[in-house]
Amino acid sequence: MNGPLSTVVRRWSTAAVVLVTTLTAVACAPDRAGDAETNGAPVDTAVTTAAQDAGIAGCPSRSEGEAADSRLAGIELVCVASGAPVDLAAFDGPVVVNVWANWCEPCREELPLLARAAQEYAGKVTFVGVLFADQDPRAAISLARDSGVTYPQVADPTSSLRTVLSLRGLPTTSFLVDGEVVGSQPTPYDDYGVLVADIAEHLEVEQ
């Protein structure tokens, strides 16, 4: 087929390929991350027990002193390992915050990279996972365990971090210094070298 009609068809085909490729590359389910009505399951005793059995680390007490002035300090989350209230500003040092959920396939694929980084940056950078509006936190804990993740996990069942972390999709990885966001990666990591480079850029920490 030649002529104007074939040109239109080719253009539409190219646009479709670009759209599919783009949607595949970016974070999953952006509508769910931006939906104010999306709520996850509560952190109950069954969840905390599963987290402890999986070796998920506990969380610090809520922010005090200067850290309590951070915007993040005002957002109450739930420590998955204990069920106690916590906020992201309470975590010491440079912090990598990975916002994810067990239903998000790209989140599942990048977890092993984050687990590796948490081990290699131990003592230099704190890693924290946020279960965002996750309706099955026990499944998330199981996935974390299978991926080698043992760093702290906190739950955000009411999507409270949506605005302050500018969440448009999952996973989103944010970088914090002194309780403040200094950088963000809104798409999944599929290359460990890129994660290392982002840590160096945003947190000024080398391996």
What does the pLDDT read at residue 128?
Answer: 98
* Residue whose C-alpha is closest to residue 187's, from 177, 173, 198, 175: 173
pLDDT at residue 4, rounded to an integer: 52
| Residues of the chain scoring pLDDT < 50 | 5, 7-25, 30-31, 34-37
Nearest 5°: CA angle at 143, between 171 and 62?
Answer: 65
Kindly tell me the number of DSSP H helices and DSSP E strands found in the chain: 6, 7
Cα 88 from Cα 193, distance rounded (Å): 25
Query: How far is residue 178's CA from residue 192's CA, in Å, rounded to a whole number?
Result: 25
Which pLDDT value is given to residue 62?
Answer: 84
CA 149 vs CA 57, 63, 64, 164: distances in Å = 9, 24, 28, 25
Rounded CA gap, 12 and 1, in Å? 15
pLDDT of residue 95: 98
Q: What length does the chain have? A: 207
Enumerate domains of the chain plus CATH numbers: 26-203 (3.40.30.10)
| pLDDT, position 26 | 52
Secondary structure, 3-state, 49-82: HHHHHCCCCCCCCCCCHHHHHCHHHHCCEEECCC
pLDDT at 17: 38
Give the pLDDT confidence score for residue 197 in this predicted structure: 98
